[in-house]
Amino acid sequence: DQQVKQNSPSLSVQEGRISILNCDYTNSMFDYFLWYKKYPAEGPTFLISISSIKDKNEDGRFTVFLNKSAKHLSLHIVPSQPVDSAVYFCEESENNNDMRFGAGTRLTVKP
Amino acid sequence: NAGVMQNPRHLVRRRGQEARLRCSPMKGHSHVYWYRQLPEEGLKFMVYLQKENIIDESGMPKERFSAEFPKEGPSILRIQQVVRGDSAAYFCASSPGTPGSGANVLTFGAGSRLTVL
């Protein structure tokens, strides 16, 4: 399923710095965009979402940006902490159904 | 308040056997989704069910795979005559349904890892 792409399979950052995870999509009908975080041997857990009518949503250290003209979604984590080391999936949905996930980006935050 | 419960966590089958994976949704959730994660790949949608109904099975292979969500009991993903390529982690997620507003957030189980020898 190539409707949702996370082109960077991995990312490594130093503790305290900013982590930026990216996601591109093709379906202009997507109306909700979500980020999930997954630790090994666990299921993904919801992190943050944004609707298509907004361009930014912030929750503590996590901020999601949506650029609809570029069909691009990004997640910023600042400051990054070692506990943030996990795989991050972006997910997009149309009419809150038909949820599609990206392939994931493995973030490693080094102490 | 238990979350989404999946069992078994690990299942080993020989080629040609059947695999049954169970998922009990979160209390109050009536919508169940199954996803498959192959090694080094993302989450691939398989099927979306509500009680006694399959809503969307566009991600399910046409043969050997089936899913159900009966009126009573857990949702079951059934794989008949398993092959090595079926080895993967299978995740179940549930939600209360399409919200009137806001995102439809999924709650995932810990997954069932199937290994086919």
Tens-digit pLDDT profile for residues A38-77: 999 899 999 999 999 999 999 999 999 999 999 999 999 9
Q: In this structure, are strands B10-13 and B112-116 parallel, antiparallel, or unpaired?
A: parallel
Q: Do B103 and A34 touch (CB under 8 A)?
A: yes
A27 touches chain B (CB under 8 A): no
Residues of B with CB under 8 A from a CB of A: 4, 6, 33, 35, 41-45, 48, 55-56, 91, 93, 98-99, 102-111
pLDDT at A2 over 70: no
Q: Exposed, middle or buried by CB within 10 Å (0-12, 13-18, 19+), for B9?
A: exposed
Q: Which residue has the higher pLDDT, B30 or B90?
A: B90
Angle at A83 between CA A75 and CA A93, to 5 degrees: 35
- Which residues lie closer than 8 Å to A86 by C-beta, 6 or more apart? A37, A38, A39, A106, A107
Q: Which residue has the higher pLDDT, A95 or B58?
A: B58
pLDDT of residue A71: 93
pLDDT of residue B46: 94
Q: Tell me the backbone φ, ψ of residue B6, rounded to 5 degrees.
A: -120, 140
CA–CA separation, A23 vs A7, rounded Å?
Answer: 7
Q: Do A1 and B44 touch (CB under 8 A)?
A: yes
pLDDT at B107 over 70: yes
pLDDT at B1 over 60: no
Residue type for position B7: N
**Nearest alpha-carbon partner for A57 in A84, A32, A30:** A32
Q: Do B104 and A103 touch (CB under 8 A)?
A: no
pLDDT at A19 over 70: yes
CA–CA separation, B113 vs B11, rounded Å?
Answer: 6
Angle at A56 between CA A90 and CA A40, to 5 degrees: 30
Residues of B in contact with A49 (CB under 8 A): 102-103, 105
Tell me, letter by letter, the H, E, C secondary structure of A50-73. Answer: EECCCCEEEECCEEEEEECCCCEE
